[in-house]
Amino acid sequence: MMTLTRSLLAGGFAVAALTAAVSPAEASFSLSDRFSDADGDLVADIPADESQWLDPDTLVFAYTPVEDPAVYAEVWDGFLEHMEEVTGKTVQFFPVQSNSAQIEAMRAGRLHVAGFNTGSNPLAVACAGYRPFTMMAAEDGSFGYEMEIITHPGSGIDEAEDIRGRTLTHTSETSNSGFKAPTALLASEFGMVSGDDYEVDFSGKHDNSVLGVANRDYEVATVANSVKNRMLDRGVIEADQLEVIYQSDTFPTTSYGTVHNLAPELQEAIQEAFFSFDWEGSALADEFGRNGEEQFIPITFKKHWAVIRQIDAANGVEYDCN
């Protein structure tokens, strides 16, 4: 079973500093022994042995875990129909309940195409043979989201320093904005070490954290503002239920990709489906346009996830793919 282990950052690390000119070589990263990386792009190579290729009649797609997977099944429906037309395959939406379940499904060969959240990308790449190739972006090619620390009015928490001695709610240990980045940031910028200067608990998902703070079940939480903003736009919560006490620099958003051992021609067809999709009037545009996103752009794990690997290294994260 895959596990994520970490040691807490003692200091000397600033998230803001990482967002400027980070070299991928600055962060140590390696794949499971199950995979090869002959070209050095930090993702698993497609197997050379054709007998190891997968060419299923039905492709299984999963979007990163959310509060109500049924809502996102409808959001992705039109896109998956487009993927069926391009690939000639039946495509099934698979609702996942956790990041670990999503990664394990791909590792076990039950998941072929997926959107993995920012923080879980390294674990998915290292342990499940995930090959990310695209993310959503604005018309001008800009992309990303910010980590926010949110509380509710009347909590008595007005700034990050006020978290000391409280319980901070994260989403999951694989989440960048829900755990990794704020853990590093609070240690480096405010001298507060997780578990020593404040207690932590986990909600499981960004939606849960936002709702929990809005309903005063949690006093303070770390979330991706892209999720929070979509919930505000849908009317799930009201703006006056939340207060933002910290916002980070911009991070890359959810990536989309395939499992490494799909047949090469099928991987190419899936990429074509993403890059040829017409966003205008689509359910994807209605939902993700709330964040200004309106196209899929090419990305590489080596370049675009350099800052995330750096955060993992600063937090002492190690991936056990056994």
pLDDT tens digits, residue range 128-169?
999 999 999 999 999 988 999 999 999 999 999 999 999 999
pLDDT tens per residue, range 202-248? 999 999 999 999 999 999 999 999 999 999 999 999 999 999 999 98
pLDDT tens per residue, range 10-21? 333 344 444 333
Residue 117's domain comprises: 3-142+252-320
Do 233 and 173 lie in one domain? The reply is yes
Question: Which pLDDT score is estimated for 2?
Answer: 55
The CATH number given to whatever domain includes residue 168 is 3.40.190.10
Looking from the CA of 259 toward its CB, the CA atoms found within 13 Å total 26
Output 99 or 8, whichever has higher pLDDT.
Answer: 99
Output 134 or 290, whichever has higher pLDDT.
Answer: 134
Total domain count for the chain?
2
Question: Which pLDDT score is estimated for 70?
Answer: 78
Residue 315 — very low, low, confident or very high, per pLDDT cuts 50/70/90? confident
pLDDT of 28 above 50: yes
pLDDT tens per residue, range 78-93? 999 999 999 999 999 9
Point out the domain boundary residue: 230, 251, 272.
251
Average pLDDT of the chain, as a whole number: 90
Question: Which pLDDT score is estimated for 9?
Answer: 36
Residues 53-78 have a mean pLDDT of 90
Do 33 and 182 lie in one domain? The reply is no
Do 137 and 32 lie in one domain? The reply is yes
Do 70 and 134 lie in one domain? The reply is yes
Crossing angle of helices 69-87 and 264-276, in 10° steps, is 110
CA-CA distance, 69 to 82, in Å (whole number)? 20
Point out the domain boundary residue: 206, 232, 251.
251
pLDDT of 262 above 80: yes
